[in-house]
Amino acid sequence: MFIILAGMLYFLGITTCCADNEPILPSDDSHMDAVNRALDKAEFSHHNQVTVASPDVMAKANELQFSSETYWAKYDEPKNWSQKGVMSGYNAQYAHRISTDPKAIVNMYSLQAQWAEGKFKQAAYVGPSGIKDRTFDLRGVLGKDFYPASYLRVTGYLGYGYRYLKDNSEGLDPVIDGFTLFGYKRYSHYNYIPLGADFVYQTDRNYSLESNFEYDYMFNGWQVSKLGVVPGYNTLVVDQRSGYGLRASLRLNLYFKYCTAFAESFYRLWDIARSNTKPDPTDPTAQGLNEPKNNTQEFGFRLGLQV
CA 37 to chain centre: 46
Query: How many angstroms separate the CA atoms of 189 and 56, rounded?
Result: 40
29 pLDDT tier (thresholds 50, 70, 90): low
Considering the chain, tell me which residue range(s) the CATH 2.40.128.100 domain(s) occupy. Answer: 59-306
83 pLDDT tier (thresholds 50, 70, 90): very high
Q: Give the pLDDT of residue 24.
A: 44
User: What's the whole-number average pLDDT of the chain?
Assistant: 86
40 pLDDT tier (thresholds 50, 70, 90): low
Whether residue 58 contacts residue 52, with contact meaning beta carbons closer than 8 Å, is answered with no
Look at residue 43 and tell me whether its pLDDT is greater than 80.
no
Query: How many angstroms separate the CA atoms of 278 and 291, rounded?
Result: 10
CATH of domain 59-306: 2.40.128.100
Q: Give the pLDDT of residue 102.
A: 74
Whether residue 252 contacts residue 209, with contact meaning beta carbons closer than 8 Å, is answered with yes
Centre a 10 Å sphere on the Cβ of residue 25 and count the other Cβ atoms it contains.
Answer: 8
Q: Give the pLDDT of residue 16.
A: 42
**pLDDT tens digits along 166-225:** 999 988 877 777 777 788 999 999 999 999 999 999 999 999 999 999 999 999 999 999
For the purposes of burial, counting CB atoms within 10 Å of the CB of 2, is it exposed (0-12), middle (13-18) or buried (19 or more)? Answer: exposed
Find all residues with CB under 8 Å of 246, minimum gap 6, and list them.
214, 215, 216, 267, 268, 269
Query: How many angstroms separate the CA atoms of 221 and 164, rounded?
Result: 10
- Give percent above pLDDT 70 in the chain: 83
Look at residue 300 and tell me whether its pLDDT is greater than 70.
yes
**pLDDT tens digits along 260-296:** 999 999 999 999 999 999 999 888 888 899 999 999 9
The reported pTM is 0.80
DSSP one-letter string for the chain:
-HHHHHHHHHHHHHHHHHHHHSPPPPPHHHHHHHHHHHHHHHHHHHHTPPPPPPTTTSPPSEEEEEEEEEEEEEEEETTTEEEEEEEEEEEEEEEEE----TT-S--EEEEEEEEEEEEEE--TTT--S-EEEEEEEEEEEEEEEEEEETTEEEEEEEEEEEEEEEEE-TT---EETTEE----EEEEEEEEEEEEEEEEEEEETTEEEEEEEEEEEEEEEEEEEEGGGSTT--EEEEE---EEEEEEEEEEEEE-SS-EEEEEEEEEEEEE-----B--TT-TTS--B----EEEEEEEEEEEEE-
